[in-house]
Chains A and B, each alone.
Chain A
């Protein structure tokens, strides 16, 4: 957990390197410590080992989907309370339903606004 002196830690998981770079760049400029993962398994490992304050998860990733990662996080007591924002190209109502029913705190569809992502992350972290 971060306090006023240590920056909040955000894990960003996406299999597209240029998108990962974009989100990381934006959040680092905002003062967050950013961890990255390029597949679902690496994301889950990072969540369990690093205990970030918030995760930004893509849905369609190799090895495990973002939904799988979210499901496992919510079932694991040690990381069940970590905030999760889904950031995905899957924009159908059904997908949004699945995301929220699995316990996502927010759902943003691609193409996305980096500014909106920053604002939403800030709002979720301030709620803690």
Chain B
């Protein structure tokens, strides 16, 4: 009995010792790998900085013809980091180098990998590289990729790269439900003014989801000086068949519109849906549109308290004469506290 217990204890000690040896050995191997990697990054950092920061025509010799996977991974990682921080000639040099040396083609090949994680990593890498030659491959992913996660990464990556086909691909993918509206909106915002004509056109898209995304993006992207944007939003605010699109258009007008949006907002203030009337009141408040004053006064008695409260803010902003309801007093206080 005692002998069996002793043997058991001995076996436990042996097992614990073996585990400790394995863990220590593994840590040493990892430490050595990290050290090698750090040394590699240190060696390659200077030529990478030369490529990014100096205005030389040709890339530094130290970066050309790198053979080992570790070297190429290190250069790819360093350049991907800088590609997001710089613009102009520096960014073009990075993109050109990554395309010429086959880094972009290698990542694009990985988009066809059977492993989901590898496809996702490849999509992210292409976005980090910001090379226009990677955009076409990502556009295909948005429409054909089976994994929702990879599509999300590809949408974000495409937003960072831009290019002629990026906005239509993002909008088409959103219309098919392949990427969520919020991800599509973020990608379109990242694409910025480059994609503005497509976003304006998308306010008339057959999909209401796409129309709502387009209105929200225009509210954040467009400006009062852009006549096409304002025209599209004004039309959507009063004519779109879906109430949530009309409400989104009103909200966007409140951000980018001007006094010339008064007529459209007045139309939206008599909308059958309370959400649209409230959104129109808030937009009129933001823009301080005087011509909606009679409607704002009438909406103070709206059956829906959300609308009456919003009309209270409008009345307070326009300093309307008339009934000093609790909603007007509340609106005055909200505005004094910086409502926006």
A111 near B49 (CB under 8 angstroms)?
no
Are A22 and B53 within 8 A (Cβ)? yes
CB distance from B196 to the nearest CB of A (A): 17
Among the stretches B20-28, B77-85, B269-277, the one at the interface with A is B77-85
Asked whether B87 lies within 8 Å of A113 as measured between CB atoms, the reply is yes
B44-55 vs A, CB cutoff 8 Å, 1 = contact: the mask equals 011001001111
Q: A18-B82, A21-B45, A22-B82 are in contact. Are A113 and B88 (CB under 8 A)?
A: yes
CA distance A115 to B89 in the complex (A): 8
Q: Provide the bound-state CA to CA distance between A90 and B87, in Å.
A: 16
B90: Cβ under 8 A from any A Cβ: yes
B87 touches A29 (CB 8 A): no
Interface residues of B in 75-117 (CB under 8 A from A): 78, 81-82, 84-91
- CB of B233, distance to nearest CB on chain A (Å): 21
Partner of B53 from the list A16, A110, A114 (CB cut-off 8 Å) is: A114
Determine if A18 and B90 form an interchain contact, defined as CB atoms under 8 angstroms apart.
no
* Number of A-B pairs, beta carbon distance below 8 Å: 45
What is the size category of the interface that chain A forms with chain B?
10 to 19
B45, B81, B90: most-surrounded residue (chain A CB, <10 A): B90
Instruction: Write the B283-316 contact mask toward A (1 if CB under 8 angstroms, else 0).
Output: 0000000000000000000000000000000000
Interface SS of B by simple majority: helix
Q: Output the least CB separation between A84 and chain B (Å).
A: 20
User: Does residue A80 face the partner (Cβ distance < 8 Å to B)?
Assistant: no
Name the prevailing secondary structure of the A interface residues.
Answer: helix
A113 touches B49 (CB 8 A): no
Asked if residues B88 and A116 are in contact (CB atoms below 8 Å), the reply is yes
Q: Decide if B91 touches A114 in the complex (CB within 8 Å).
A: no
A112→B52 CA distance, assembly (Å): 12
Neighbouring A residues of B52 by C-beta, 8 Å: 22, 114
CB distance from A58 to the nearest CB of B (A): 11
Q: Is the CB of B45 within 8 A of A115?
A: no
Instruction: Please judge, given known A-B contacts A18-B81, A29-B53, whether A114 and B45 are in contact too, CB under 8 Å.
Output: no
Q: Which residues of A contact B91 (CB under 8 A)?
A: 111
Instruction: Verify A110–B88 contact, CB threshold 8 A.
Output: no
> Given A18-B81, A21-B45, are A111 and B87 also a contact pair (CB < 8 Å)?
yes
User: Is A114's CB under 8 angstroms from B90's CB?
Assistant: yes
0/1 string, A19-52, CB within 8 A of B gives 1: 1011001100100000000000000000000000
Q: Please tell me if the beta carbons of B89 and A29 are within 8 angstroms of each other in the complex.
A: no
B88–A22 contact, CB under 8 A? Answer: no
**Number of B residues with CB within 8 Å of any CB on chain A:** 18
Contacts of B85 in A (CB 8 A): 16, 18-19, 22, 110-112
Contact B53 A113 (CB under 8 A): no
Whether B87 pairs with A25 at a CB distance below 8 angstroms is no
Q: Which B residues touch A19, using CB under 8 A?
A: 85
Contacts of A115 in B (CB 8 A): 55, 88-90
Asked if residues A22 and B87 are in contact (CB atoms below 8 Å), the reply is no
CB distance from A45 to the nearest CB of B (A): 26
**Separation of A25 and B52 alpha carbons in the complex (Å):** 10
CB distance from B255 to the nearest CB of A (A): 13
Give a binary string over A77-117; 1 marks a CB under 8 Å from any B CB, 0 the rest: 00000000000000000000000000000000011111110
In the bound complex, CA of A88 to CA of B49 (Å) = 20
Please report the C-alpha to C-alpha distance between residue A112 and residue B46 in the assembled complex, in whole angstroms: 19
Indicate whether A22 sits within 8 Å of B49 (C-beta atoms), given known contacts A111-B91, A115-B55, A115-B89: yes
Give CA–CA (A21, B90) in the complex, Å: 15
Residues of A within 8 A of B78 (CB): 18
Which chain A residues lie closer than 8 Å to B45 at the CB level? 21
Q: Find the B residue at minimum CB distance from A116.
A: B88
B87/A21 in contact, CB under 8 A? no
Which residue of chain B has the shortest Cβ distance to A23 in the bound complex?
A: B53
A residues within 8 Å of B by Cβ?
16, 18-19, 21-22, 25-26, 29, 110-116
Return 30 A-B CB contacts under 8 Å, by A number. A16-B85, A18-B81, A19-B85, A21-B49, A22-B49, A22-B52, A22-B82, A22-B86, A25-B46, A26-B49, A26-B53, A29-B53, A111-B85, A111-B91, A112-B85, A112-B86, A112-B87, A113-B86, A113-B87, A113-B88, A113-B89, A113-B90, A114-B52, A114-B53, A114-B86, A114-B90, A115-B55, A115-B88, A115-B90, A116-B88
